Structure 1
Amino acid sequence: MNPCKAREPKIIDGHLLRVCIEQQLPKGELGRLMKTEGVDPGNVEEMRLEFMNIVKMDHLWVLKSLTKLKLNNNLIEKIENLESLIHLQDLDLSFNKITKIENLGSLGKLRILNLFVNKIEKLENMENLKSLTIFSVGKNLIKDKESVHHLRRIPMLISLNMANNPCTEYEDFRRYVAAFLPTLVWYEYKKIHDEERETGVVKFRQLIIDQEELEEKELAKILQKEREDREAELNMDSFVEYLNTRNLFDQMWEKDDEGKLLLNLGDDIRELYADFQTNFVNYCKEVFDIGQRHYKIRKDEIEAFMRCTEHAKHLSQLESIQLMEEFLEAKNILFSKGQEVQKNLEDGEIDEREYDRLVFELTDEFNKLIHVTWKKLMKLELVLFEQMDEVNQNFERNLTEMIGNLIEESQNCFTQLRELEQQYTDRLTEAANKMFNNIGLVEDLVIPDVLDEVMSDKDNLLNCLGATHDTHLTVIDTREDVLIFRAKGWLESFTNNLFTGEVDRNRYKILELSHFLDIQREEFEALIEPPKELVVVQDDD
């Protein structure tokens, strides 16, 4: 192999994986046979891709049975494309150029993770690694010793190596780790003694208490979010999920850095913010109540509609069955006559000419019976189909009106939300302009440090106020659009299913009736077919 070619940066692709799989086959005849027959990548459990100048992790989804993956000593900068490796237990990414721990959420079975010698600055995004027991992240760039706190979320971690990170230079870092990670047994491959942990707990007692309180608050937030998510899922059909909480208000401020800065204008603004929040959330709850009320009305109407239409279909089905039973009774009489004619022919009581005449009469009578029955059944089905079409159209109009009322009432509340936001912005602008105009005029005026840049120029201030106002309105408008879009989308989908469902039912019913009568016709034709012996005799003559 050309040595220069071997040193070229590589991306993991199908060809590279096939080559590596073949290189890892057993030696000798067994390996030759396996290579000849081909190895399914989906069955490979271990893969070594070491010292190959790999710069990008890709195409790994074909290795769906993989339990061990070694990608050490490469040029990888980003952890990615591991979502399909749900069986992975051992992952070695040491000696690479990775800057961030990420995209490990699907690796719930991972037990060993090696990130030794990389460029990682923070321990994060590992909360889903519930099976992780051995973790090496030595010789990275982790400065903050509190990064260790993130590992408290990993219940089975027993071995940790963070050697040669900047954070390890803190005094008693080993005891710090031992105190904050009570499940840890080994640190830097040396067993943690009880004395180390006990003295660490004593020394960092207050920090541990503070951390536990913080974790309790975080857990409460997580549980609250899970409750809200479960409730939101139940409220999806009412199109107002999360509006019974402060979720929409929080969304306005989530990316509103300018608005957060302006809260430092003073206590009056913080009080204004608190009032704004209370009133805003109350209007959101009004939208939620509107959605719930209309959902109940809509649900009751749909249930009543379904009961009525199913009852009508059931009655039509009973009448159809009655017509079929009447047909079968008449058919049985004709079949008895046909059997009698067959017997008379076989017994020589009638000749073939008389047999043909009688069969012709029976066939004509049977065809008339089929025709009359078909007309009755088709008329019954046509009446039902037309009735259902009319009922569906009327119900579509009712649903359209209900959805229209929901949207109209909701839009009124969203208008109030926008007016409330405008009032807040006006008051905020007034306070900001007042402070700006007093700069240099009021001797004891104190400008918070975080507002120095904003207050340094009038245009800066106006841009800041405009940005926060636009951010808030975008969030409000987007949520209103989502409600309207989903409500109209539901209406279109429901009514389309209503009409297409009825068309499908009608087609299936016609096919069912046609099949039923075709079978009866085949049975009759088989019945009146002359005996084979007579046909043969007739042919001989």
Structure 2
Amino acid sequence: MKEKEELDAQEEYKKKLAFLTAAYVEYLDDDYLFHQMFEDDKEGKDLSMVNEDTQNAFEEYKINFSALCKEFCDIGLEEHDKRINEINLYDIAVNEGKSISENRGRMIVNEVLHKKTDISATIKQLIKKLTGNVDAITLENITKEAHQLSEEFNDIITDAWTKLMSTEVDLHEQIEDINEVFRINMSDMMGSFLTIARGYFSQLRNCEAEYNDTINGLILYYLSGFGDDVKLPRHLLNLCEDKDMLNYNLNNSHERHLQIIDAREDTMINRVKNWLEEYSEQLIKYERERNNQQVLEISHFADFQQQDFSQLLQQLNLNTDDTEVILALDE
């Protein structure tokens, strides 16, 4: 039972971390970043433990720093929801355009197949008339009617190809416009989010600077209480024996903390920018591939219908010239 609870807790943690990571605020919902600053900072931890005043200052710093992280995390999740909503609106717009285009295309194709069925039935009737002995006049009439039907079907295919291509061009241009609007909207949203992020990271740096100044003042005051006849505790000799040593250790600790804050900010900014660029490029690539595939399918449909009809005409032993149709389809 306990093992299952632990597994469930781990699974829940993974889901939460994945959710926060998608919003670019992973590990900012608690005091992880704060502890990360002091993880490899022995001098910083020791300085915070000099006396009760420094310990209190450290705890207050931890509370304020973590509160800023949590506040920013909540805002980050709200901004993430806005982006998800924008993506959903994009999907709705694109899918609606595709649905309209598909319905139009289906109507055009069905119309072609319906007319093809009628013309094919007429051709088959002509084939039956050729059974047995056929006089020259009948053969001439059948030949003339077959050519008329061939031209009629060629016109049907050419017209259908033109309509299908026009429908696809309209959809392609529509999706390209939607992609551009989406890119602009998402760029604005990401820009707004990064502005907020920079503001909070600036507050975190200010919080660190205030703590550094506070600790410096508290320890200097503490050291001033030691006269010539009172020795500094041994464990503090290499930490803050004099003002220069104190400044050296404090500055090192402060710089280390700032580097961690800056690194977290840079990681977030780079991820946001990379995601926007990659996502926008992926949408463009996907639409280009979709459009190319549709153009190929339309051409394949026209070619197949023409070839299938030509095979039917061959049963009349008539020579049909599809040159004009081919030229029309290539325009």
* TM-score, normalization by structure 2: 0.86
Residue type at the aligned position of 1:243: L
CA contact under 8 A between 2:43 and 2:239: conserved in structure 1?
no
Check 1:456–1:221 CA distance in 2 against 1; reply closer, same or farther (3 A cut): farther
User: Displacement, 1:531?
Assistant: 5.8
Does residue 490 of the first structure (1) align with residue 296 of the second (2)?
no
CA contact under 8 A between 2:17 and 2:26: conserved in structure 1?
yes
Instruction: Determine the C-alpha separation between the residues in 1 that align with 2:147 and 2:11.
Output: 77
Does residue 429 of the first structure (1) align with residue 205 of the second (2)?
no
Instruction: Determine the C-alpha separation between the residues in 2 that align with 1:356 and 1:222.
Output: 80
1:281 to 66, 73, 91: 66
Residue type at the aligned position of 2:115: A
1:407 to 170, 189, 194: 194
Instruction: Determine the C-alpha separation between the residues in 2 that align with 1:524 and 1:226.
Output: 61
Check 1:421–1:448 CA distance in 2 against 1; reply closer, same or farther (3 A cut): same
Match of 1:311 in 2: 96
Match of 1:212 in 2: none
Instruction: Kindly provide the CA deviation profile for residues 15-62 of structure 1, in whole angstroms up to 9, marking residues without a partner as x.
Output: xxxxxxxxxxxxxxxxxxxxxxxxxxxxxxxxxxxxxxxxxxxxxxxx
2:39 to 238, 254, 265: 254
CA contact under 8 A between 2:54 and 2:219: conserved in structure 1?
no
User: Displacement, 1:336?
Assistant: 1.9
Instruction: Determine the C-alpha separation between the residues in 1 that align with 2:11 and 2:92.
Output: 36
CA contact under 8 A between 2:232 and 2:241: conserved in structure 1?
no
Match of 2:53 in 1: 268
Check 1:329–1:221 CA distance in 2 against 1; reply closer, same or farther (3 A cut): closer
Aligned CA RMSD, in angstroms, stands at 2.6
User: Displacement, 1:230?
Assistant: 3.9
Match of 1:232 in 2: 17
- The structure, 1 or 2, with the larger RCO (C-alpha pairs under 8 Å, 6+ apart) is 2
Instruction: Kindly provide the CA deviation profile for residues 421-452 of structure 1, in whole angstroms up to 9, marking residues without a partner as x.
Output: 000011122233444555545x44x6333221
Does residue 384 of the first structure (1) align with residue 171 of the second (2)?
yes
Check 1:511–1:223 CA distance in 2 against 1; reply closer, same or farther (3 A cut): closer
Instruction: Determine the C-alpha separation between the residues in 1 that align with 2:253 and 2:315.
Output: 93
How is 1:106-121 mapped onto 2 (pairs within 5 angstroms)? none
Match of 1:394 in 2: 181
Instruction: Determine the C-alpha separation between the residues in 2 that align with 1:221 and 1:336.
Output: 72
Instruction: Determine the C-alpha separation between the residues in 2 that align with 1:224 and 1:474.
Output: 32
Check 1:390–1:235 CA distance in 2 against 1; reply closer, same or farther (3 A cut): same
User: Displacement, 1:391?
Assistant: 1.0
Match of 1:153 in 2: none
Match of 1:208 in 2: none
Does residue 507 of the first structure (1) align with residue 292 of the second (2)?
yes
Secondary structure of the structure 1 residue equivalent to 2:30? coil
User: Displacement, 1:384?
Assistant: 0.8
User: Displacement, 1:389?
Assistant: 0.6
Number of positions where the alignment pairs a residue of Structure 1 with one of Structure 2: 313
User: Displacement, 1:483?
Assistant: 1.5
Match of 2:205 in 1: 418
Instruction: Determine the C-alpha separation between the residues in 2 that align with 1:222 and 1:415.
Output: 38
Check 1:400–1:261 CA distance in 2 against 1; reply closer, same or farther (3 A cut): same
User: Displacement, 1:333?
Assistant: 2.1
Does residue 298 of the first structure (1) align with residue 83 of the second (2)?
yes
Match of 1:331 in 2: 116
How is 1:180-219 mapped onto 2 (pairs within 5 angstroms)? none
Higher share in strand? 1
Instruction: Determine the C-alpha separation between the residues in 2 that align with 1:287 and 1:487.
Output: 15
